Amino acid sequence: MARRGTTTTIADVARHAGVSPATVSRVMNDRFVGEPSVADRVRRSATELGYSPSPLARSLALGETHTVALLVPDIRNPAFQAILGGLTRAAARDGYRVLVADSAETPDDEPVLATELRRRCDSVVLCAPRMPEETLVELAATLGPVVLINRPSPSVSAPSLSIDYGAGITELAQHLYDQGHRTFVYLGGPERSVSNERRRRALDEFEATMPDVILHRISCGADTEDGRRVATLVRESGATAAIAFNDLVAIGLVDGLAAEGVRVPEHLSVTGFDDIPFARYTSPPLTTASVPYEELGMQAWQRLHALGRDEAPGDDVLLQPRVAIRGSTAAPGRRAGIGSGAAAETVGSS
């Protein structure tokens, strides 16, 4: 037995069993192909000496860490937290853990972060909706196995799980139109966001097919402060309905409008996108496009695990949002005294 206060090393076991340290390593990692009697002797020596291999050393020897990584642009966003939750729970069932890195909405940092993560784990789930396409193609080639979330790319040969943002935003616009709204304002997300571009294109198409629709556009952002910041511009746009980039922006907008005496939905209807947990508990509850982000994380793990076992990862998936109609939208109300359309050109009317 090892002396009290000492740590038994692989060299101690090798001397006790009369073999090399490399032989001990192969036996302890189930990679020994020699005489069974030698393996038995090594295991008896390890037991007698109280030797337990280091998990880190085992990982290095096997070339596996049983850890995967998730890179997101902002972990504060509940949508990305839901992806992380689904990925973590699914991976844990197979004995894996998840590392997470937050690029803090700085796409230029993402290649360095992703590369560093890959050195520490077996595979990567890359959620980089702001990353330029050429950068994504170059980076993905160095990360494998990798799964893309929120970012399909025909130039990257990796499994992809994404959301049909165009369909979701179109359904929201149609819901508002059916309620009688004809003048909308879209609060755009980060300029480099691929998902924002898909929302914008879908709204452009919606406006083109509805001759009686007027759609104003305001550059905004992705968090609550961004929504609160543009409340005055929304009030002055003359719109009767606001379509926010996501729920965080919508929640901030509702708060900012309340400070200016604009009631939702009596004076102005507001929609979000994502259906984060807070959305149904705001006042009023938020009409939004519901996205199964936790399912996205679970499916990402299924594909990573398949890639790790050299199995087919399955088809790419384009998940369809479902519009959840709540109290933040209603038929157009009276807007007297809360602004006019005079400032519409200032905020980028179409």
What CATH number is given to the structural domain containing 37? 1.10.260.40
Domain CATH number, residue 137: 3.40.50.2300
| 306 and 286 co-located in one domain | no
pLDDT at position 63? 52
Rounded Cα gap, residues 38 and 100, in angstroms: 42
pLDDT in tens, 284-340: 999 999 999 999 999 999 999 998 888 888 889 999 999 999 999 999 975 433 443
| 226 and 271 co-located in one domain | yes
Q: Let me know if residue 2 belongs to a domain.
A: no
Lowest mean pLDDT among 25-29, 72-76, 81-85, 238-242: 25-29
| 223 and 343 co-located in one domain | yes
Q: Let me know if residue 126 belongs to a domain.
A: yes
Burial class, 207, CB count within 10 angstroms (exposed 0-12 / middle 13-18 / buried 19+): middle
| 312 and 329 co-located in one domain | no
| 245 and 336 co-located in one domain | yes
Strand positions, DSSP E, 103-231: 123-126, 146-149, 160-163, 183-188, 214-219
Separation of first and last alpha carbons in the chain: 81
Average pLDDT score over the chain? 87
| 278 and 234 co-located in one domain | yes
Check: CB of residue 272 under 8 Å from CB of residue 247. yes
- Which residues span the domain enclosing 284? 165-290+324-347
Percentage of the residues of the chain whose pLDDT score is greater than 90? 61
- Proportion of the chain in helix, strand, coil states, percent, rounded to 5: 45, 15, 40
| 230 and 339 co-located in one domain | yes
Residue 6 pLDDT > 80: no
Q: Let me know if residue 188 belongs to a domain.
A: yes
DSSP label at 321? P
* Helices vs. strands in the chain: H and E counts, helices first: 13, 12
pLDDT at position 341? 37
Domain count for the chain? 3
pLDDT in tens, 91-113: 999 999 999 999 988 888 999 99
Per-residue confidence band for 130, with pLDDT thresholds at 50, 70 and 90: confident
| 35 and 111 co-located in one domain | no
Residue 349 pLDDT > 50: no
Check: CB of residue 244 under 8 Å from CB of residue 217. no
Lowest mean pLDDT among 52-56, 84-88, 198-202, 340-344: 340-344
Q: Let me know if residue 260 belongs to a domain.
A: yes
Rounded Cα gap, residues 169 and 148, in angstroms: 22
Query: H/E element holding 68?
Result: strand 67-72
Segment 133-161 shows an average pLDDT of 88
| 263 and 331 co-located in one domain | yes
Give whichever of 27-36, 56-65, 250-259 has the largest mean pLDDT. Answer: 250-259
| 169 and 313 co-located in one domain | no
